[in-house]
């Protein structure tokens, strides 16, 4: 029942009204408390407690300017108490004035050193500023004063998670939940830590627990829906987003997150509609603007004409995004938005991307430069002092980028001349991670944010940083866009120029680069000798598979086509149909995309149309296999007769892994480095006769090998005799060592 307003004639018992207002406030009955505070201020406009408490109600309603006015007015009536200084700091924090908020908390602590609330709020602001080590110290002080302080345990867990100390973070969240089992935010952040530890099912359960407590908890809803997508439970993920939007139809974050999932399902037009809706609800929303731009790059294309259309749309949106970023029209955390979506799929369109990447790289550099000051850089090493070389990657584990080129460079660089550092940007570990750690003077393997990684790298004062896989993870780009070492290098884990003005060199392969390739890079192109990487002989698979298990006919000639689906452009679909039409009893083994089903449906439909155009049934010739482990992958290749290289984006790691099977390779070099991997491998072995000059030659060669099994056997014997030329190549390592010396010492 609301309080009855006092009549003008009634006696006004101010202490009694204040006590009633404070009780209502504590019960969460804010409207009733607000009415009483207003009555007090009508009688006593300078009443200290009524001013500050009414200010806190305004803060709870998001009316921060009015909250600040009221609390500042209270502070002007007398010497501020520790409590009002904390309240003042909370309002400043809500307004984004965080350094001022810290100052207010520090003043409260100066007046009352054992003030747990002040220490805890200080910790929360420090964490927001990325100063998590300091935040932990504030949490420690708060908990020492008040051991059962739930929010302090929660804030401690949040900072521990940001610092990559995930097991400790889980313990902190568990302590908070032991004190308050229905603490939805703690369940949600606990789920985030579990997800970072690859404990996805437990993470999902934590997000669902948070939602059971608070069905309108948008962040938990988003996390649950997104993780369902990661787990491949796409229908459930979309249903979860729909449920969230039904309850919160004006939530731009939910639209943006659903759009990101739709991109992964190759439903780009639907994704675009979601991003437009998010931007309409929240103009300038950076996450939606970035995702909407890069959402113009689908995983696969339905037809060749779509490639040009999407490329033009992407160029237009990139120009608009760059202009908005430059003019300050984007709102939100731009560093986070950079990681929302990147132009990874641009290179798979088969074009010259230098101009587009130059615009992209310049935009990213400007955004990052506003966030971070230029770091102090070390002087050149003294004579005899080893050069400090850092490698920044998310793939110090079983991954193609580790195999090519990281492992070879890391293992072979001369330790007398170089001191090596590894910065593994994800928590994931395996036996290759342990091997990498042993190779480094210092190896950092933690889940850190960009400021955290910046601190770790700068602490080592590297002379050289190498980024071997830009656009393949969510963090390396924001680091590479900074100048964290005097010399910075890109390489071809993803063979695409970065466009970043902060990268000096692009480390590539002399045998793979076409003439005039310097014009394709914003970095200075370095053609390391031969293949550019040191590679150990791959092991043969110990798994025994049969052709029947792979779906192959006993008498068919089998072509291995096990590249990622997005490497196959529509304009080359007819190549498979032509080979089948001329060679007869042949089969092509493809690997299904591991994302949504639409990607595979589009690709299979394209092949069906290409085969039907030649009066053939694609199902008679095309096999689509599910996910294969490493040993199964190599064993499956061994059941085939010919490695049929993808056109435009060649296989490299897969070609090298086919070598234990001595599988003949048919390829045709494309106009860019990314389309010339297999050709370079064959050239280094002296087997260029299976490198076709044209598409017609490629078809003819593939057909001939189907018809002439004796030629295939001869090629197998030659491969067995010559593949040793590809392994343990020191020439490229020596060239890299000399490049680093010259770049750092100026020698």
CATH code (residue 704): 3.40.50.2000
C-alpha distances (whole Å) from 155 to each of 97, 114, 178, 180 are 19, 18, 15, 14
552 and 521 in one domain? no
The angle at the Cα of 745, spanning 739 to 747, to the nearest 5 degrees, equals 70
User: Which H or E run contains 418?
Assistant: strand 418-424
Q: Helices (H), strands (E): how many in the chain?
A: 34, 12
Residue-wise burial string across 282-321, b where 16 or more C-beta atoms lie within 10 A, e elsewhere: beebbbbbbbbbbbbbbbbbeeeeebeebbebbbebbeeb
Task: Report the pLDDT value the prediction gives residue 62, as an integer from 0 to 100.
Answer: 87
Largest CA distance in the chain: 113
pLDDT over 80 (residue 447)? no
The tokens for 445 are: 């393997």
Average pLDDT (362-391) is 96
CATH number at residue 471: 3.40.50.11380
Distance CA 463, CA 456 (A): 14
User: Tokens 């101009």 correspond to what residue?
Assistant: 355
Task: Tally the domains of the chain.
Answer: 2
Question: Do residues 614 and 648 lie in contact, with contact meaning Cβ atoms separated by under 8 Å?
Answer: no
677-693 pLDDT, tens digit each: 999 999 999 999 999 99
Q: How far apart are the first and last CA of the chain?
A: 84
504 and 572 in one domain? no
703 and 654 in one domain? yes
User: Tokens 């008040």 correspond to what residue?
Assistant: 146
User: Tokens 């280094």 correspond to what residue?
Assistant: 684
80-114 pLDDT, tens digit each: 999 999 999 999 999 989 999 999 999 999 999 99
pLDDT class of 49 with cuts at 50, 70, 90: confident
Q: Which of 484, 505, 536 is the last residue of a domain?
A: 536
Task: Report the pLDDT value the prediction gives residue 67, as an integer from 0 to 100.
Answer: 87
658 and 584 in one domain? yes
pLDDT class of 7 with cuts at 50, 70, 90: very low
Stronger pLDDT, 80 or 627, i.e. the higher one? 80
502 and 479 in one domain? yes
The tokens for 403 are: 């195999």
pLDDT over 60 (residue 524)? yes
- Residues in the chain, overall count: 747
Task: Report the pLDDT value the prediction gives residue 10, as an integer from 0 to 100.
Answer: 52
Stronger pLDDT, 443 or 538, i.e. the higher one? 443
Question: Do residues 657 and 637 lie in contact, with contact meaning Cβ atoms separated by under 8 Å?
Answer: yes
202-255 pLDDT, tens digit each: 999 999 999 999 998 989 998 999 999 989 999 999 999 999 999 889 999 999
* Mean pLDDT for all residues in the chain: 94
Question: Do residues 251 and 245 lie in contact, with contact meaning Cβ atoms separated by under 8 Å?
Answer: yes
Residue at 57 is within a domain: no
Question: Do residues 196 and 166 lie in contact, with contact meaning Cβ atoms separated by under 8 Å?
Answer: yes
Distance CA 646, CA 565 (A): 10
504 and 420 in one domain? yes
Task: Report the pLDDT value the prediction gives residue 533, as an integer from 0 to 100.
Answer: 97
Residue 157: closest CA among 189, 131, 119: 189
Burial of 722 (0-12, 13-18, 19+ CB in 10 A): middle
Lowest-pLDDT range of 111-120, 362-371, 404-413, 626-635: 626-635
Distance CA 370, CA 320 (A): 19
Distance CA 368, CA 589 (A): 44
- pTM (two decimals): 0.86
Task: Report the pLDDT value the prediction gives residue 747, as an integer from 0 to 100.
Answer: 61
Stronger pLDDT, 595 or 583, i.e. the higher one? 583
User: Tokens 């929010």 correspond to what residue?
Assistant: 151
The angle at the Cα of 290, spanning 285 to 292, to the nearest 5 degrees, equals 95
pLDDT over 90 (residue 131)? no
The residue segments making up the domain with residue 443 are 387-536
Residue at 172 is within a domain: no
500 and 415 in one domain? yes
Residue at 370 is within a domain: no
Residue at 160 is within a domain: no
Residue 361: closest CA among 263, 484, 497, 228: 497
CA atoms within 13 A on the CB side of 110: 8
553 and 683 in one domain? yes
The tokens for 121 are: 């709020």
Residue 409: closest CA among 420, 398, 424: 420
What percent of the chain is predicted at pLDDT more than 70? 98
421 and 519 in one domain? yes
Question: Do residues 265 and 234 lie in contact, with contact meaning Cβ atoms separated by under 8 Å?
Answer: yes
Task: Report the pLDDT value the prediction gives residue 288, as an integer from 0 to 100.
Answer: 97
Task: Report the pLDDT value the prediction gives residue 449, as an integer from 0 to 100.
Answer: 84
pLDDT over 60 (residue 3)? no
Burial of 609 (0-12, 13-18, 19+ CB in 10 A): middle
pLDDT over 70 (residue 6)? no
Task: Report the pLDDT value the prediction gives residue 1, as an integer from 0 to 100.
Answer: 42
675 and 574 in one domain? yes
588 and 465 in one domain? no
Residue at 15 is within a domain: no
Q: Which of 482, 502, 536 is the last residue of a domain?
A: 536
Distance CA 628, CA 640 (A): 15
The tokens for 665 are: 């390779």
Task: Report the pLDDT value the prediction gives residue 540, as an integer from 0 to 100.
Answer: 83
The tokens for 496 are: 């695409």
User: Which H or E run contains 485?
Assistant: none
Q: Which of 536, 569, 589 is the last residue of a domain?
A: 536
Crossing angle for the helix pair 286-294 and 252-264, nearest 10 degrees? 20
Distance CA 85, CA 101 (A): 9
Residue at 251 is within a domain: no
Residue at 451 is within a domain: yes
415 and 511 in one domain? yes
Task: Report the pLDDT value the prediction gives residue 9, as an integer from 0 to 100.
Answer: 40
Distance CA 732, CA 125 (A): 49
Distance CA 495, CA 651 (A): 12
Residue at 393 is within a domain: yes
Residue 388: closest CA among 440, 426, 445: 440
The angle at the Cα of 215, spanning 210 to 217, to the nearest 5 degrees, equals 65
């Amino acid at each position: 029942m609301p309080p009855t307003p006092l009549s003008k004639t009634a006696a006004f018992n101010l202490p009694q009204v204040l006590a009633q207002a404070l009780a209502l406030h504590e019960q969460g009955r804010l409207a009733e408390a607000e009415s009483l505070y207003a009555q007090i201020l009508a009688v006593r406009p300078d009443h200290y407690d009524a001013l500050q408490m009414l200010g806190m109600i305004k803060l709870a309603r998001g009316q921060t300017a009015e909250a600040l006015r009221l609390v500042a007015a209270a502070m002007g009536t007398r010497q501020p108490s520790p409590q009002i200084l904390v309240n003042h700091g909370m309002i400043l924090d809500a307004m984004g004035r965080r350094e001022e908020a810290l100052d207010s908390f520090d003043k409260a602590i100066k007046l009352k050193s054992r003030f747990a609330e002040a220490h805890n709020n200080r910790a929360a602001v420090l964490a927001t500023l990325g100063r998590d080590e300091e935040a932990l110290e504030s949490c420690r002080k708060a908990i020492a004063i008040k051991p059962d302080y739930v929010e302090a345990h929660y804030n401690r867990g949040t900072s521990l998670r940001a610092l990559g100390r995930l097991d400790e973070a889980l313990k902190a969240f568990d302590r908070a939940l032991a004190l308050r089992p229905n603490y939805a935010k703690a369940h949600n952040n606990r789920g985030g830590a579990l997800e970072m530890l690859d404990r996805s099912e437990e993470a999902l359960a934590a997000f669902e627990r948070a939602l059971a407590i608070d069905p309108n908890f948008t962040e938990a809803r988003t996390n649950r829906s997104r993780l369902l997508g990661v787990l491949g439970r796409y229908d459930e993920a979309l249903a979860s987003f729909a449920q969230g939007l039904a309850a919160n139809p004006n939530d731009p974050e939910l639209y943006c997150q659903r759009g990101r999932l739709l991109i992964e399902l190759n439903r780009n037009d639907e994704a675009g509609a979601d991003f437009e809706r998010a931007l309409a609800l929240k103009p300038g929303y950076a996450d939606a603007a970035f995702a909407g731009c890069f959402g113009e790059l689908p995983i696969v294309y339905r037809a060749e004409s779509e490639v040009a259309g999407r490329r033009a749309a992407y160029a237009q949106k990139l120009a608009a995004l760059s202009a908005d970023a430059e003019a300050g029209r984007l709102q939100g955390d731009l560093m986070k938005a950079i990681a929302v979506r990147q132009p990874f799929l641009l290179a798979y369109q088969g074009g010259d991307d230098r101009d587009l990447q130059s615009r992209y790289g310049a935009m990213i550099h400007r955004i990052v430069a506003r966030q971070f000051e230029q770091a102090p850089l070390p002087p050149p090493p003294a004579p005899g002092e080893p050069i400090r070389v850092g490698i920044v990657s998310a793939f110090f584990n079983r991954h193609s980028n580790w195999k090519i080129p990281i492992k070879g460079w890391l293992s072979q660089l001369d330790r007398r001349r170089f001191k090596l550092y590894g910065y593994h940007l994800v928590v994931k570990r395996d036996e290759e991670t342990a091997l990498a750690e042993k190779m480094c003077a210092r190896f950092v393997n933690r889940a850190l944010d960009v400021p955290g990684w910046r601190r770790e790298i700068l602490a080592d004062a590297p002379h050289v940083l190498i980024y071997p896989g830009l656009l393949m993870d969510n963090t390396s780009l924001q680091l590479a866009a900074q100048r964290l070492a005097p010399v910075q290098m890109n390489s071809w884990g993803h063979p695409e120029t970065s466009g970043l003005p902060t990268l000096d060199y692009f480390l590539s392969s002399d045998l793979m680069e076409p003439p005039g390739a310097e014009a394709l890079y914003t970095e200075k192109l370095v053609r390391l000798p031969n293949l550019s990487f040191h590679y150990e002989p791959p092991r043969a698979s110990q798994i025994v598979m049969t052709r029947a298990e792979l779906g192959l006919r006993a008498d068919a000639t089998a072509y291995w086509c096990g590249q990622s689906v997005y490497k196959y452009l529509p304009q080359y679909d007819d190549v498979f149909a032509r080979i089948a039409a001329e060679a007869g009893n042949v089969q092509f083994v493809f690997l299904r995309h591991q994302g949504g089903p639409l990607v595979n449906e589009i690709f299979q439909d394209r092949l069906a149309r290409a085969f039907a155009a030649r009066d053939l049934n694609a199902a008679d010739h095309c096999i689509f296999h599910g996910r294969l482990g490493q040993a199964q992958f190599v064993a499956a290749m061994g059941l085939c007769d010919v490695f049929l290289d993808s056109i435009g984006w060649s296989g490299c790691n897969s070609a090298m892994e086919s070598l234990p099977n001595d599988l003949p390779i048919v390829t045709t070099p494309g106009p860019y480095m990314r389309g010339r991997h297999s050709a370079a491998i064959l050239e280094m072995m002296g087997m260029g006769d299976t490198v076709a000059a044209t598409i017609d030659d490629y078809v003819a060669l593939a057909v001939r090998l189907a018809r002439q099994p004796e030629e295939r056997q001869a090629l197998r014997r030659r491969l067995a005799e010559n593949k040793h030329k590809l392994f343990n190549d020191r020439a490229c390592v020596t060239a890299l060592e000399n490049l680093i010396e010259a770049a750092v010492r100026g020698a």
